[in-house]
Structure 1
């Protein structure tokens, strides 16, 4: 016990402090003129100390209202853009209908075996014509990532707005040494604004005095808490943000990760701040009897447990860990977040409404939708393709008539038995694999055409599954010995934003690299073809007016000159251009930056980058 400080005074002060934080108002004992504190100044300090904490929590509590206002503004913008796109789409469709009356569908020039192109009068899908020769290829040793893609064509011809759009669309090179891929400038700007908003709430009206350092550390913990529902909302597969913003959950996943990273940073600030306060800055008359007594107190132990759980969540969510040990990532993500929420519930009384909101989001998404409404079991055919590393999973069934579909499915989201839309994906589980693999659900883009067009009632599902390790390698071994399997499908999931954008532009450019064909092909088919055709699909697309260019293998002749392809197309087109790309990061960046360059030159381009990796 410290000299000159009575145990009763310390216990009274600590009791008043706990009561005030639990009730979120100054304890009634502080209103009395007398107190067991030895120094009258201590009571005034305690009153100011608690008031700063409570005022800070009231300020941070308004953070949720600010988020709702921001979401409302983005919702208005999305629906306004949807109305504009719908009008453009109707105009384009009416023009195509009038142009196609009494005539066959025109064809676009298509390269033959010698690289020459046949003549073409135009296309209902892609306007203009390409050059008479295949565009050059870059040698595979050429460093595409370090070639200048923005601003190489001289001054902008599109004005200030075009320059702003171009800069926002541009994607910087990966970070040196660690080779971390950066998003577009627009995404980085939005993430920076999110960080700035949270730092504002953390520091606003904070008393910058060492004797109130506890308030700084406590504020960090509260900023962490108010972000919990947002973190779970961005992680949910079935979420209102898809309807309100037009972006699917996988497009919003980058924000889920940045929110989680910032929360872990705030948890670190809270933990370190509390340790510094107790060891160096806490007044002697308010301190507990010993350091050991402080760190072994149940409240502190619960906080340490929650902190460790969330930091482990961060490290196991890093791309380097997630890509190598995806199954462990999934398991740790579930177990650690359960432990963290339980410990957080016990540690911080004020956090409980936010924890309940997060649990409501999690349970509704995982149990009500994903397990209850969105799951279905089918019998699928398995085939190992020629490369020996890819499994084709196929399943056919009749689409359920509308009258047989359950009412909740109609209003809350259909499952895969009711069909899907272009570029949707599903989470697949194969119980036959046994062991832990039987419990895992992995995402795969549906590589086949969406059913239901022109009265078609037959679903033909194809999943192209490349083998890496874990679940996919187990599936490959199983497919080598078995031709069928029972598969549980959770989905479909996705957004129609890329398709709607393409339909709203007279010129559509779709670029696929590797597994990205699973995204691009269904979009192409929906734009060019009105029904499923079981014969040679690429020939049918060509007959519908699509120019299809398939370069020779990259390992043999080098990378295709994507920038040259896009520049030729945009130069030949006098109308708005819609571009969708899905492929490796290098390809995505090349397309994004070439489009940014064309926008800077005055071309009106809408771009969507669909990443096929999770």
Structure 2
């Protein structure tokens, strides 16, 4: 073996990988100033071509993502325009001011007290999981292939046996599989699979990893354009963010394992320099291992089981580890640097510019421990600021002082709980009705905002806050937000009939929606132009204190059909499937489109989703939104 061949070959390989673009063919790879074995020269030439050609192919990945995003954007804005037209068409009824005496402003202040249903509670003593998806209900038969496909996409399978892992609906699973298939395509398309060129295959895995970096950080950002462009809420996009992160962690591991395999089994002996230990302790490879460890720890600390037990540690580690991972990755190899810089810019702008400056406001909030003893109410109020007319300016500068929309959430920080908590932000859905919008050109005093957050004590921050509230009636709080998407409200307004289903604290999502529907077009509800139904399932009677009785009474006066079954601790689980079957059958008979929003525990969400899926299969027109905060 010609020992002198090793240094030139490795140095040439490293230098060639800095080419700006790949050559048209292996023969166009120029190798000069060397007169060694022509077979070795030809091997290096072909290997360099495969590496650079593979990088050119993968560089098109984000262009494909842009095309996909454009498709979702067009669909969203077409649907948004159609929904707005339908809502405006339903507004030929008398204006809402004619019923102002019956329905107070959503900006009215409230104090949560014990409550009962505004009408008799309905006792449905059955187990959701043991009932058929739908009760037998006579309805027109309009089944078709498109209905069957739509129903299958809406259906959510049972949890995985033994591990009891909750699965997403088929639509989300199909989208995730398409995303994985796209990455597999870019990995294998025109990729050499011969062992002697395995270096190019391993290099491409790393390139597939880095081209996903901007997408990962964009999906994690709170102030991102994706929600505005697609209409999906932050919670829905965050589910996809986790799937992207999981694929990238697998790609990082596979990239490392592939290069180890190359060094041990596939690399020609004349190209080797030392053994495996020498390979691993090279500076570039040590930096790569640092990045790998950081991203794998990010994955481990992001698991649902870890988040539930150590949420504060999850928050801290997520920031520290991702900064460390980006630093290691930047130094690991020069090809990653543009993607690292873009990702770092997304992270810093989101965290420092928007969240800590433009979006952050400080208040003194009131604290009240509710009847069940494990839930507290954090509330604050203020006069809202004028909201700018420009939508993009509003998106950039809109803070909680301008108000919020139904289903929005905020992040709160309470330094009074200690040094550790002063650096933490915790998300909560706004449980109170959104204040009326007040434009800059509108005369008069801006409406008052009354913000309420329902906080159930579990462990860590929430438990410390509960203990604090037992001896303090108020606390300084920093509020970052609001964040959210108006898609569900726009969908409900466009539908002829609506169903809002809340399980437990899911009332924080559902109640502001019901209030918005009743307040903005109460005449349309009262005159039968829109049928609105609200079902709230609670575990115990003490949980009824989470929503004031007067708020429920006002919803009922506005024409909303409010149903509160007996607490599940006493009456068992209500028949959600039968409830939805009856309403969907009624809507189908009237040839109406039914809008459904569900927010609650996994079992309730799944039962409602699958009930809607079976109704769609039978020909019903249903649009569904399930607010599930993470899978």
Say whether the fold is shared (TM-score over 0.5): yes
Distance in 1 separating the partners of 2:239 and 2:117: 39
Structure 1 equivalent of residue 555 of structure 2: 541
| 1:299 aligned onto 2:284 | yes
Structure 2 equivalent of residue 11 of structure 1: 7
The worse-fitting range, judged by mean Cα deviation, of 383-392 and 288-297 is 288-297
Structure 2 equivalent of residue 447 of structure 1: 431
- Deviation at residue 112 of structure 1 after TM alignment: 8.0
- Deviation at residue 104 of structure 1 after TM alignment: 11
CA-to-partner distance for each residue in 1:47-97, whole Å, 9 max, x for gaps?
001100100000000001000001011111111111111111112222x43
Cα 1:492–1:54 change in 2 (3 A) is: same
3-state secondary structure, aligned to 1:97: coil
Q: Structure 2 residue aligned with 1:482, among 449, 472, 475?
A: 472
The worse-fitting range, judged by mean Cα deviation, of 460-469 and 528-537 is 528-537
Q: Structure 1 residue aligned with 2:250, among 257, 265, 269?
A: 265
Q: Structure 1 residue aligned with 2:157, among 166, 172, 179?
A: 172
3-state secondary structure, aligned to 2:271: coil
CA-to-partner distance for each residue in 1:257-280, whole Å, 9 max, x for gaps?
000000111111111111111011
TM-score (norm 1): 0.89
More relative contact order, 1 or 2 (CA 8 Å, 6+ apart): 2
Q: Structure 1 residue aligned with 2:125, among 137, 140, 149?
A: 137
Structure 2 equivalent of residue 601 of structure 1: 618
| 1:567 aligned onto 2:581 | yes
- Deviation at residue 215 of structure 1 after TM alignment: 1.4
Structure 2 equivalent of residue 121 of structure 1: none
Contact 2:386 2:446 in 1 (8 A): no
Structure 1 equivalent of residue 68 of structure 2: 70
**Alignment map for 1:39-438 (pairs within 5 Å):** 39-94=37-92, 96-97=93-94, 134=122, 136-138=124-126, 142=127, 144-145=128-129, 147-149=131-133, 157-402=142-387, 410=394, 412-438=396-422
The worse-fitting range, judged by mean Cα deviation, of 205-214 and 495-504 is 205-214
Cα 1:411–1:470 change in 2 (3 A) is: closer
Distance in 1 separating the partners of 2:431 and 2:558: 20
- Deviation at residue 24 of structure 1 after TM alignment: 4.1
- Deviation at residue 423 of structure 1 after TM alignment: 1.4
Distance in 1 separating the partners of 2:335 and 2:191: 20
- Deviation at residue 291 of structure 1 after TM alignment: 2.7
Structure 2 equivalent of residue 529 of structure 1: 519
Is there any run of 5+ residues in structure 2 with no aligned partner, and where?
104-115, 439-444, 523-546
Structure 2 equivalent of residue 128 of structure 1: none
TM-score (norm 2): 0.87
| 1:550 aligned onto 2:564 | yes
Cα 1:224–1:26 change in 2 (3 A) is: closer
3-state secondary structure, aligned to 1:137: coil
Structure 1 equivalent of residue 628 of structure 2: 611
Distance in 1 separating the partners of 2:28 and 2:339: 29
- Deviation at residue 611 of structure 1 after TM alignment: 2.1
Cα 1:555–1:325 change in 2 (3 A) is: same
The worse-fitting range, judged by mean Cα deviation, of 507-516 and 565-574 is 565-574
Is there any run of 5+ residues in structure 1 with no aligned partner, and where?
116-133
Cα 1:233–1:481 change in 2 (3 A) is: same
Contact 1:171 1:589 in 2 (8 A): yes
Contact 2:141 2:619 in 1 (8 A): yes
Q: Structure 2 residue aligned with 1:494, among 484, 488, 492?
A: 484
Contact 1:151 1:597 in 2 (8 A): no
Distance in 1 separating the partners of 2:97 and 2:143: 33
